[in-house]
Amino acid sequence: MQKAFALVLLFAVLGLCGCLSKRTTTTERTAVEQALLSQAAEQTLAGFNFEALAGKSFYLVEDDVDGYDTEYILTSLKHRLLQFDLVEAAQEPDADVLLYPRLANAAIDDSDASLGIPELPLIIPGAGGLTIPELSLYKKETQRGRNRMGVYGVDRETGTLVFETPLVSKETYYKRWVLLFIFSFRTTNLEKPF
Q: What is the pLDDT of residue 125?
A: 80
Rounded Cα–Cα distance for residues 185 and 18 (Å): 16
For the chain, what's the residue count? Answer: 194
pLDDT at 15: 45
| E strands in 77-182 | 87-88, 97-117, 120-124, 128-132, 135-155, 161-164, 168-179
63, 102 Cβ separation under 8 angstroms: no
pLDDT in tens, 64-96: 888 788 999 999 999 999 999 999 999 999 999
Write out the chain's pLDDT in tens, 194 residues. Answer: 565 444 434 444 444 444 444 556 678 889 999 999 999 999 999 999 999 999 999 999 998 888 788 999 999 999 999 999 999 999 999 999 999 999 999 999 999 998 988 888 888 787 778 888 878 889 999 999 999 999 999 999 999 999 999 999 999 999 999 988 788 999 999 998 76
Identify the CATH class of 29-135+143-174.
alpha beta
Sketch the domain layout of the chain as residue ranges.
29-135+143-174
Q: What is the pLDDT of residues 159-179, one digit of tens each?
A: 999 999 999 999 999 999 998
Residue 58's CB: how many other CB atoms inside 10 A?
24
In Å, what is the CA distance from 81 to each residue of 1, 48, 52, 56, 118?
A: 73, 9, 11, 10, 50
